[in-house]
Structure 1
Amino acid sequence: MITAENLSFTYRGNTAPALNNISFSIPKGELVCLCGTNGSGKSTLFSLLAGLQTPSAGELAVDAISAKGNEKQLRERSALVLQDADLQIIGATVAEDMMLAFPPNDTEAEATCQTMAERFSLLTHWDSAVHALSYGQKRKLCLAVSLLSTPSLLLLDEPFSGLDYPAMLEMRSIMKANKEQGLTQIVSVHDLEPVIDLADSMIVLHQGELKGTGAPESQLDSLLQYGIRPPYSWLREHTISPWD
């Protein structure tokens, strides 16, 4: 589904690459945990996968579509949900934000959007101003809008950040449902605890370099040297316990 071969990216004006010669592959339908400290290259990789940047060197393909020269097609297939929901919400109300991609007065599109809103417990807030939503509700609105485009790849940037426990459980339920539907998901996190038991594989980045990829059990022992704390169950018993 996703392949990267000797992928590198350097921001204009910089000499050191933000990503340096990394290679990995992700099968369709996997939930991948992307981890690394600040400055490791996670956001850069997301921007490449979302078609917002073009690789400086190497190859990157999503659904067999090369990233180089096909950024628009990547943007049509990938949905990026930012950590800060306020940077992503454009509409003044829930209804307006969800309907932005559709023609005005399109009753069929409105029904589709309302069905998605109901899935995310947002239908009762259909006419609510977005500034009146809670932080968790704003995050769900961003997710709902992203899934309206039926992407083949969902990129979640720190989806648990700032959420209370019930909202974190709800976010996990959304990820599980997406997984059951065969949607490929890459979840960028600093804290592994809420997601590691759902992950099929991991990608570990450090200072722009790939330090590990594969099943979580094959990567967790190496994380501390890269400034990443393994989950408590792994530190205590060398097991991955269900978080909820």
Structure 2
Amino acid sequence: MIELNTVTFAYPAGEEVLSEVSLKVIKGGLLGLAGANGSGKSTLLALMAGLYAPVSGSLEVAGRVSPGKEGGIRSVCRLVMQDADLQILGATVEEDLLLGRERSEAVTAEARDMAERLNLLKYWDRPVQTLSWGTKRKLCLAAALLDRPCVLLLDEPFSGLDYPGVREMRALIRANREAGLTQVVSSHDLDSFIDLVDELAVLDNGMLALDGPPAAVLDEVKAHGVRAPGSWTACRTIVPWDGEEG
């Protein structure tokens, strides 16, 4: 579903942000992406979303290749950024979910169903500036899912969330996986999601330092500025977060 072949990227008049990164994510898979601040995680997600094109190498998302087909990638992929305020454009939950969509009864009903699924319906007419950080994050996720993407990219989805918010976000990620959605999730905190992922990739100064099943790479993450999960540090095992089942 996603394949990167020696992808290198640099912003105009800047140094390389990513250097010869090669990765694969199978259809329906869940890739965890970790790394210290400035390691290139957000830039890599933006490339996967078709917002940028590699300066060398190539990437393919659902059969669409970049450089060249970034528009096609954007049509099948949705990125939910860390800062929800950068993505919310509507004045209310209703307006944001319906922005750019046909104003029909069927479309409105679909948006309301999505809002109910993410526990947003009670905020339907609420001004977005009155929403909590976690609720804004869910609004961005609801808007992304309404587009029925093949690939969902979540940049630090647990950042700033309280305990109930983390539980809710994990449940949404699990539900997306059960529905067959391909996902890439970045996070500084491996404890919050390591038990959910199929593979873990670790970036270090723009290079892919580690890539593989979590149990195969967790012993080495500390050397690349990432803290191993508490359960791994204590007894070299991966357990469901906070005792969750499944």
TM-score by length of 1: 0.97
Map of 1:36 onto structure 2:
35
Map of 1:6 onto structure 2:
6
**Aligned mates of 2:115, 2:194 — CA distance in 1:** 27
**Deviation string, structure 1 residues 50-92 (Cα, Å, up to 9, x no partner):** 1110110011000121011111111111111011111111000
Q: Which amino acid aligns with 1:135?
A: W
**Deviation of 1:101 (Å):** 2.2
**Aligned mates of 1:102, 1:22 — CA distance in 2:** 36
**Aligned mates of 1:232, 1:122 — CA distance in 2:** 33
**Deviation of 1:164 (Å):** 0.6
Map of 1:174 onto structure 2:
172
1:24-63 matches, cutoff 5 A: 24-63=23-62
1:1-244 matches, cutoff 5 A: 1-14=1-14, 16-104=15-103, 106-244=104-242
Identity within the alignment, %: 49
**Aligned mates of 1:31, 1:101 — CA distance in 2:** 29
Q: Which amino acid aligns with 1:233?
A: S
Q: Which amino acid aligns with 1:218?
A: A
**Aligned mates of 2:129, 2:10 — CA distance in 1:** 37
| SS of residue paired to 1:7 | strand
| SS of residue paired to 2:24 | strand
**Aligned mates of 1:139, 1:201 — CA distance in 2:** 24
Where does structure 1 differ by over 3 angstroms across 4 or more consecutive aligned residues? none
Corresponding pairs, count: 242
| SS of residue paired to 2:138 | helix
| SS of residue paired to 1:193 | helix
**Aligned mates of 2:196, 2:93 — CA distance in 1:** 29
Q: Which amino acid aligns with 1:11?
A: Y
Runs of 5+ in structure 2 lacking a partner?
A: none
Runs of 5+ in structure 1 lacking a partner?
A: none
**Aligned mates of 2:93, 2:218 — CA distance in 1:** 40
| SS of residue paired to 1:54 | coil
**Deviation string, structure 1 residues 17-53 (Cα, Å, up to 9, x no partner):** 1111111111011111100111111111111111110
**Aligned mates of 1:59, 1:135 — CA distance in 2:** 35
**Aligned mates of 1:64, 1:240 — CA distance in 2:** 34
**Aligned mates of 1:112, 1:42 — CA distance in 2:** 32
